[in-house]
Amino acid sequence: MHHSPHSFHIPVMGTGFTIDTPLRVAKYGISSVISLVDDVLIEQVRKVYCEKYGEPYEEINGRDPDARARRITAYLNLVERLVRQQVEAVQASPFEKGSDITRYYEMLPETPLKASYREMLATSEPAERRQKQEMLRREAVPGSIDVNIMTKVDRDAYVNGERLAPEFGDAMAALRGYANSTLCSSVVLSAGINQRLYTYIAAFGDFLPGEEHEIKKKIVLKVSDYRSALVQGKFLAKRGLWVSEYRIESGLNCGGHAFPTEGHLLGPVLEEFKEKRQELIEILHPIYSKALASRGAPVPDVDHGVRITAQGGIGTALENAFLLTYYRLDGTGWGTPFLLVPEVTNVDPAHLDKLLSATNGDVCLSDSSPLGIPFWNLRTSASEEARRQRIVEGKPGSACPKGFAALNTEFTEIPVCPASRGYVKRKLDHLAEQNLSTEQLASARESVLAKACICHDLAGGTMLKYDLSPTATPAICCGPNVLNFRRLATLEEMVAHIYGRLSLIANAERPHMFIKELMLYVDYLREEKRKFSLKLSARTPEYFQKFKRNLIAGIEYYRCLACQFIEEQRSRFLEDLKALQNEVERMPLPDVA
C-alpha cells in the first residue's frame, strides 16, 4: 500500500458524488472515498465504465444470491484495475507541459518529492535528467481507493417475508464486498459503533497483519471526539483489529449527515487527540496484541502507528496549514468545495448553478434524513422541490424505490423507511390522534414531512450525468462552506487553493472555521431548546447545562489559541468569539431542579 504524496483527501459525499472520484484523481496521488450504500447505483456505474473501457460486463441481478456483496466486489475490482492502468500511463507519459506526469508533480505540495521534481527540471545534462525522471516515474504512486460504510445503514435482508442471516444485512454485505475485493486500501467506518459489523470484520484475513506485519485492508474510524475513538478502538482491538486512522470530523460544520457533540468544539477535540495520541496507542496495542496471540495470528513487535486527520468546514490554506502544524495532523479532508469541481465529483449542470447562487437560507441543517440524524441539505434541489410538490398534491412521502433507510418498525413488523409514503401517512394519522397542542402538532408534522428520499436522490447527479435516469431529482448534501465559493474550479485550481498557491474564496466576510462551527452549535442549542419547550424532545435540563459549559470551555480554549494566529486573523477571531460568548451566556436554558 502506497502512502499518498498529498496532505489532503476527498471524503465520501452522498452515495453518488464520489462514486467514481478515484477514477478521476487517484492517478494524481490523491486519495478519495467511495460510498458503499447504494449497490444499485454501483452496478449501474460498473456497466457504464465497462462499456467505456471495453471491459466485459455481466449483470449481477439484485435477486441473485449475495448480489449486494458481489456487485460491490465487482465494481471495486474494476476501479482498482482501471486505476492501475491509469497510473502506468501516467508513469509512461513524457515530462512536458500538460502531460499527466507533469500534472501529477505540479499539483504536489512543497515536499522533498516536489523538490526532486524541481531539481530534475533544473538539470540540463541529458543522462542525469533521464535518470532523475526515471526515479520520479517510480515515485508517481496512486492515491488510495478507499470506501465508506455508514454503520447505521444496516438494513436486514428479507426474502418472502423471512429475515435472512445477519451477514446479509446491508452494512455486513458491503463489508464483505470490500473484503473480497483486490483493493489494498482502507474502509472508513462512520456513524458510530455497530457491534455485529465490527465483530464480522475479524472474519476476513485482509484486516489482520500478515507475515510481514503489514495490513492489506486498513480500518479508518470517523469520530467526533476522543472518547468515541477510544471506545470503538478498544472494541476492535479486542477482536485483533487495529484502527490505522482516526478521522475527526466537526460535529456540525460538515456536509451530509451531522453528528453533533454535547457542545465539544473541534479545536478542543483536536487538542485532546494531540495530547493523548501516544496514550491511545499505548492503551490499544496490548489489547490488540493479546487478541492476535489468542487467535494464533502474527503479533507485530512494534505498533502499527496511528494517523490522525481532520475534516469539516476547512476553507482556506491558512486554516489547512494551521491544522497540520499546530495539531500535528497527518492530513485533512476537503469535501464540499469539491462539489464545485466538475471533473472530480458528480453534480449536474443545473445543480452546479444552484450551488453557485445559494444563499444562507438555501443550505440548512435539516430533518430530511430518514435516519433521524441532522442532515445538511440544499433547499433548492430537485429532490426538495419534488418532496414539497408531493405534499401540495396531497401525496406526501416517497415511493421508496431503494429502501436502504428502511429501518423503522413503529407501525410494521418488517422495517420501512420513515420517508416512505406508507409510513408518512400512518405517522401523520397517529400524530392527529395524540393530545398535542397546535404548536406541538405543527412542529411534529413538519419534521415528519421533511423526510426526503435521500438514499435514492443522492445518486441523482450521477444518474443524470451518465444518462441512467433523465427524470432523476438530485438531492445535494453540501455543507455551509459551499457559500464561500462562487465559481467552478478545475482540479488544479482547487489543489492550488488548498496549498495556498491561489485563493478561491469569494466571501470576504467568511468567519474562521472554528468560529463558524461555534455559530452552528449556538444555533443547534437554540433549536434543541425550542423542541424541549414544546415537549418534543427527550433532552434533560442537565443536557443543556452541560452543553453550555462545554461551549464556554471551548470559547476559553479558543481565546488562548488565538495567540497562535497571525495578527490579521486574530483580532476578528477574538471579536467574533466575544460576541458568541455573550450570546451563549444570555441564552435562557432549562434549570436543573
Residue 15: which of 142, 130, 141, 170 has the closest Cα?
170
Q: How many CB atoms are closer than 10 A to CB 551?
A: 24
Q: What one-letter code names the amino acid at 162? A: E
Distance from C-alpha of 482 to C-alpha of 184, rounded to nearest angstrom: 32
- 439: cell is 404548536
Q: CA–CA separation, 153 vs 151, rounded Å? A: 5
Amino acid at 41: L
Please name the residues in contact with 263: beta carbons below 8 A apart, sequence gap of 6 or more: 521, 525, 546, 547, 548, 549, 550, 551, 554
State residue 303's pLDDT score: 82
Q: How much is the pLDDT for 567?
A: 82
Model pLDDT, residue 506: 96
d(CA 317, CA 419) in angstroms, rounded, equals 39
Cα–Cα nearest to 169, from 141, 140, 143, 149 = 149
User: 146: closest CA among 31, 37, 17?
Assistant: 31
Residue type at 267?
A: G
Q: CA-CA distance, 150 to 13, in Å (whole number)?
A: 12
Q: Tell how far CA 29 is from the center of its chain.
A: 19
Long-range contact set of residues 569-572: C-beta below 8 Å, sequence gap at least 24: 569/318, 569/512, 572/511, 572/512
Residue 126 Cα distances to 98, 120, 131, 133, 548, angstroms:
21, 10, 9, 10, 66
Half-sphere exposure of 212 (CA within 13 A, CB side): 4
Q: Check: CB of residue 29 under 8 Å from CB of residue 142.
A: yes
Measure the CA–CA gap between 76 and 70, rounded to whole angstroms.
10
- At residue 319, the 3 state secondary structure works out as helix
The radius of gyration computed from the CA coordinates of the chain, to the nearest angstrom, equals 24
The beta strand positions in 274-400, using DSSP E, are 307-311, 331-333, 363-366, 375-378
Whether the CB-CB separation of 334 and 498 falls below 8 Å is answered with yes
Give the pLDDT confidence score for residue 2 in this predicted structure: 62
Q: What is the pLDDT along the chain (593 residues), one digit of tens a residue?
A: 568 999 999 999 999 999 999 999 999 999 999 999 999 999 999 999 999 999 999 999 999 999 999 999 999 999 999 999 999 999 999 999 999 999 999 999 999 999 999 999 999 999 999 999 999 999 999 999 999 999 999 999 998 889 999 999 999 999 999 999 999 999 999 999 999 999 999 999 999 998 888 999 999 999 999 999 999 999 999 999 999 999 999 999 999 999 999 999 999 999 999 999 999 999 999 999 999 999 998 898 888 899 999 999 999 999 999 999 999 999 999 999 999 999 999 999 999 999 999 999 999 999 999 999 999 999 999 999 999 999 999 999 999 999 999 999 999 999 999 999 999 999 999 999 999 999 999 999 999 999 999 999 999 999 999 999 999 999 999 999 999 999 999 999 999 999 999 999 999 999 999 999 999 999 999 999 999 999 999 999 999 999 999 999 999 999 999 999 878 889 999 999 999 999 999 999 999 87
Could you tell me which residues come within 8 angstroms of residue 8 by beta carbon, excluding any fewer than 6 positions away?
30, 320, 331, 332, 333, 334, 498
Nearest to 494 by CA among 479, 504, 506: 504
What's the 3-state SS for 78-102? HHHHHHHHHHHHHHHCCCCCCCHHH
Torsion over CA: 321, 327, 329, 332 (sign) = negative
